Every structure is written in C-alpha cells, then in structure tokens.
Structure 1
Amino acid sequence: MNEPVTTTTIDPAEFRKVLGSYPTGVCVITALDDDDRPAGMVVGSFTSVSLDPPLVGFFPDRKSTSWPQIEKAGHFCVNVMASDQTDVCRAVTAKGDQKFVGVDYVVSDHNLPIIRDSIAAIECRLYSVTEAGDHWFVLGEVLRMETVREDDPMLFHKGRYGGFAERM
C-alpha cells in the first residue's frame, strides 16, 4: 500500500540552487505593444509541447511587467539566442525605455519583432495561459518558424550565460 503524499517545506534558495544545476537554453519572447514598440522578456523555460497541433510553451513570472504587454498582443515570437548574443539578453532585461536599445530586429508578416542573428524564430498565436504557482504556463500555437543561422545556442547555468562545448 502506498503512503499518502505529504506536503513538505522546500527552501526557495535551495530550490533555486538545485534546479540551477540544470542548464537551459535562452530565448527572448517578443511582441509589439499598443504603440508598435517592441516588448520582450528573456526566458529559460521554453519547450516544445505538441506536434498536433504544433504547440510550444514557456513560463513567465506572474510579477513580470513585460508579460502583460505580450499577452495583450495575442501573439508572440520566440527568438532562440546564440551564444554570442549576451548583449541582446542584457538589453532586453533592462527596465522601461532602455529595453531594445541597440537590439537589431525586423518586423515579420505576423507583426512580430524577430531579433536579427538569432538562431531560430518561432512565431505563435497565444493558445492558452494557465496559472502555475508564481508563474504562468503559456502555450503558443506555431504559425511560422525558421532557422535563421546555424550556430551554438546560448545556455544559462548557475546564474551565468554561456555556450555549448562538445566533448569527445
């Protein structure tokens, strides 16, 4: 007979430390706000979800000031960052009017900012948003996608940006 599951208290600092041991890819989620200015956020939680229909997902913090702008747009682009795009990530994490200063992008046919020289761009329609603790679980239905260039991805590990190193 199985023991009943009990709730345990997990220290948030320890949770972050342990899960920070797992490296993640880095993406910039973009959209245009009501004034056609780029809105964006850096995420390390991007994942493929379904082939039929084609769905992808990510987890923005519920305290994010950028997520409401992207959600209101109703669609977004997932820009997969290359290992040489740390400057782009730092720009997008800036506050207020400093976001996107020096970030080169084009606006797609779906009216979405695509960051130049990203590894891939995945344009999506907002499919659903579900509460997930202190984050949202966002699903997007893929409308268009492309590989922009072949290069090493940016990775985030233990609070630092880096790249991939092949081991033989």
Structure 2
Amino acid sequence: MHKVILSIGTNLGDKLKNIYTSLLLLEKKLVQIEKISSVYRTKSLLLDDQPDYFNIVVEAETKLFQIELLDVCKEIEKKMGRTHTERWMPRIIDVDIIDFNRKVFITDELIIPHLQFHKRSFVVYPMKEICPDYIHPVSKKSLEYFIKKIECDLAIKRVGVLKWP
C-alpha cells in the first residue's frame, strides 16, 4: 500500500457536499481515507471576487501507483462537473496529489511533491493538522517552517469538521 496526501478544494455550489462526494468517489476507486483535516475557508489565490474556497487535506492509502491516482483524481473532477478553464478560476472540485510515499516523482504529467503546496495556506495548515511531523522530501523543511514563510494566508479560517463515516 502507498501512503498519499491529497488536497481537495471547491468554491462553487454546495461546497461541503462537493468535498464529501469527492471522498466517496475516491473510496470507490481504491483509495482508503485514513485522516481528514478540518475544513478551511480561504480567499482565492488571485484575491479577486470569486466565492471563497473550502479546502481539506486527507491522508490515505491506496494500491494505485502515481499516474493511476492522477487519472482517478481527474476522473472524479470530470464526473463531478469540473470543466478546465483558466488557472485558479472557480471550480466545483479540485483534487491534487500533494505527496506519495514521502518520495519525489517526476514525469511530464505529474510532479510529486506538488510544486507549490508549501506556499499555499489552504494546503499547509490542514496538512499540519493531520501530518504534523511531515518533512518535505526535497527541501527537508517542516510544515511549521513553511507556515512561517507564507506571504499571504488568503484569510484562512478553520470553519469546522466534515462528518465522515
């Protein structure tokens, strides 16, 4: 089994339902959810007038390999109605692979760990909640280090806990 960390975000429709549905679909595709962070609300990366985002981070186990998991994430986004528009635009769901077995993986399709996760409050804060001892496999830095380096936290706020089976 492989240990993975995924980031899930949404800013359209029933945000909590979107997150919950994405978790259900992940489990149907051989991803066993082990830990779920609290739900965090943030402004968009562009600090524009988009609706606020709801974000979580999950730790999971899977038998899938990296590209297979990427395909599952994209399939879930498509199934839930996501259309790929410009970068950082409103979306019904976004499922990103943040880490896979605490190792580096690089192809044309996928880079793990996620290249920008350490700069994003909506990943680092919930990730610290469920993986407090995480050390970045490239920089060897802690999540606490990255939190101190975040330039704009996008007005992040913990808004509650997702009820999960």
Fold shared per TM-score above 0.5? no
TM-score, scaled to structure 1: 0.30
**Higher helix proportion:** 2
TM-score, scaled to structure 2: 0.31
Q: Give the structure, 1 or 2, with the largest relative contact order (CA under 8 Å, sep 6 or more).
A: 2
